[in-house]
Structure 1
Amino acid sequence: MIASFSSVIWSIAGKRHIYQYAPPTARSRVGCSPSEKSPSWALLTDAFQQGLHTWFYDVSGLTSGSSSEQFHFPASSTSLLCSTEYLRIPFKIGQPKKQIVSKTVERDFEREYDKLQKLEDQTKKLHKDMKKSTEADLAMSKAAVKISADLLSNPLCEQDQAFLDSMTALDTAMRRMDAFNQEKVNQIQKTVVDPLKKYSSVFPSLNMAVKRREQTLQDYKRLQAKVEKYEEKEKTGPVMVKLHQAKEELRPVKDDFEAKNKQLLDEMPKFYQSRIDYFQPSFEALIRAQVVYFTEMYKIFSELTDQIDQAGLTDEQRERETEAKLTELRALSIVADD
């Protein structure tokens, strides 16, 4: 069982730290703190439950004070003796000799679950990005409407009819743009953002099912080890009674685990594959909404150009005309450089 665990080995300031720990689906961290003079510790207790018999930590030179200190697990009577030179924690727990889940099955399970965890992260990120995108779209069109309204209220509009006509046309175009943008955002909200949110809500149930499977597996291993312990003992009357009781206790737990394991192995790949059928209509709706919006924007701004454009002038001519006006302004004494 120990061989199935991952190992992480690294070096910090010449001190070797060796951790052996359980797979991601069976990890939990429990804080373990000695006196105030010593550093805080975190032990992966699920690794012990998975069958890790000995855990080593080279703490030479890392602690201060007395040559040894007593460590205590929270909510546990187990205590560990920590030496300033070397810490060795013997930890034995009943583990079955019989392999309950083959390495191939466990590897397949972890692979499928890892794919779903990545899918969950990607779905949440996409949902967050889509919300930001729609909020930015709305802010942009609202800002454009405010700018056109401010220009329309400019005192110059009261003095120059041509300028008033241009600003009126601009304000009308911006309000039309805002209306189409609002319609686009509402469409995206219904067809993309809301479905993403609903899809994300499925993952907590999936994670809970995986957690229940892991809990049942631990019970299965514990009871299987108990059965094996009685099978190895001398076949006396009391031992045979206890063996029978242990087997009766094991049977429903074994059936429960096998059912949970089979269901997850069957349904996790199906759930992963279903993402295409689920999201494809949403993304098609997103594309259609964008196409409709930008088609309307082309019409609106083409009409606006026809209304405010000075016929016969090229872009270069307009640029030269603007530069000439700016030169006249710079020639005024009130804006002359000191």
Structure 2
Amino acid sequence: MSWIPFKVSQPKKEVVSKTVERDFEREYEKLQKLEDQTKKLHKDLKKSTEADIAMSKAAVKIAADLRQNPVCEQDQGFLDSVAALDTAMRRMDSFNQEKVNQYQKTVIEPLKKYSRVFPSLNMAVKRREQALQEYKRLQSKVERFEDKERTGPNMVKLHQAKEELRPVREEFEAKNKQLLEEMPKFYQSRIDYLQPSFEALIRAQVVYFTEMHKIFSELTEQIDQEGLTDEQRERENEAKLGELRALSIVASD
């Protein structure tokens, strides 16, 4: 593990079976991916809501600026259209704020709280790894005395090493057992915890875009009238711009 700053001598006896270690690594890797995905989703949702707010406020400002533009004051029909746009943008901004508030309450905050659980989990895994390293160190120590000549002093040291090993082995086995039991449960619990938030996210979008359809349908009815196509408008604009360029005050030197 990355937090162990040194390698202990490996004992001859396998203290943890490869099967158990593979099972542990598999379960922990799933939780690491879950943590990364949760953090990424939380970050992306925050960026999305910030962008939504900025877009909505910009649309409101554009409509307000148009209403104050002298060009719009010359034609009452066009001024009415701009006023209708201004009202629609303000309504859009209001519903957008409701959507953002809903995101914050039902999705962003729950994700933030969920992310706070992972540091404790990672610390438990770290303590398990530290216990494993200590277990291996003391097991190697026992094996060294077992390989020595069976003299009285050596037998005493062997007995002491075994006594030192026993509580460490029991501590590791308890931590290992607990994590192997609880990591799969924690991973499975993500469904019960996160699914309601994701459902709320979808519902908030449905409500928002349903209201947007109503708002812009009403706006279309208010401003809809026979007019120029985009191509015709573009040609007309080019013609008008040509007339402006022909004026002496903007003529090139």
* Fold shared, TM-score > 0.5 on shorter chain: yes
Question: Residue 284 of structure 1: CA displacement?
Answer: 0.4
Of 169, 193, 199, the residue aligned with 1:284 is 199
Question: Residue 27 of structure 1: CA displacement?
Answer: 6.1
Higher RCO (CA 8 Å, separation ≥ 6 residues): 2
Partner of 1:326: 237
Unaligned runs of 5+ in 1: 1-24, 29-44, 52-94
Question: Residue 326 of structure 1: CA displacement?
Answer: 2.5
Match for 2:19: what amino acid?
T
Partner of 1:145: 60
Match for 1:172: what amino acid?
T
Partner of 2:48: 133
- Equivalent position SS for 1:100: coil
Partner of 1:218: 133
Question: Residue 258 of structure 1: CA displacement?
Answer: 0.1
Kindly report which structure 2 residues correspond to 1:1-338, keeping only aligned pairs within 5 A, or say none. Answer: 25-26=1-2, 46=6, 48-49=7-8, 51=9, 95-310=10-225, 313=226, 317-319=228-230, 322-323=233-234, 325-326=236-237, 328-330=239-241, 332=243, 334-335=245-246
**In 2, Cα distance between equivalents of 1:266 and 1:106:** 14
Instruction: Give the length in aligned residue pairs.
Output: 249
Q: Deviations over 1:78-119 (max 9, x none)?
A: xxxxxxxxxxxxxxxxx3221100011111111111111111
Question: Residue 244 of structure 1: CA displacement?
Answer: 2.2
Match for 1:196: what amino acid?
L
The 8 Å contact of residues 3 and 126 in structure 2, kept in 1 or not, is answered as: no
Matched residues, percent identical? 74
**In 1, Cα distance between equivalents of 2:241 and 2:117:** 65
**In 1, Cα distance between equivalents of 2:149 and 2:234:** 106
Match for 1:326: what amino acid?
N
Question: Residue 295 of structure 1: CA displacement?
Answer: 0.5
Q: Deviations over 1:167-209 (max 9, x none)?
A: 1111010000000000000101111111111111111111111
Match for 1:102: what amino acid?
S
**In 1, Cα distance between equivalents of 2:215 and 2:186:** 44
**In 2, Cα distance between equivalents of 1:115 and 1:165:** 58
The 8 Å contact of residues 99 and 204 in structure 2, kept in 1 or not, is answered as: yes
**In 2, Cα distance between equivalents of 1:131 and 1:327:** 42
- Equivalent position SS for 1:99: coil
**In 2, Cα distance between equivalents of 1:244 and 1:320:** 95
Question: Residue 239 of structure 1: CA displacement?
Answer: 2.4
- Equivalent position SS for 1:144: helix
Give TM-score, length-normalised by structure 2: 0.90
Question: Judging changes above 3 Å, is the alpha-carbon distance between structure 1 residues 309 and 248 closer, same or farther for their aligned structure 2 residues?
Answer: same
Match for 2:181: what amino acid?
D
Q: Deviations over 1:239-275 (max 9, x none)?
A: 2322222222111111100000011111111111221
Match for 1:287: what amino acid?
I
Match for 2:237: what amino acid?
L
More strand per residue: 1 or 2?
A: 1
Q: Deviations over 1:13-45 (max 9, x none)?
A: xxxxxxxxxxxx2565xxxxxxxxxxxxxxxx6
More helix per residue: 1 or 2?
A: 2
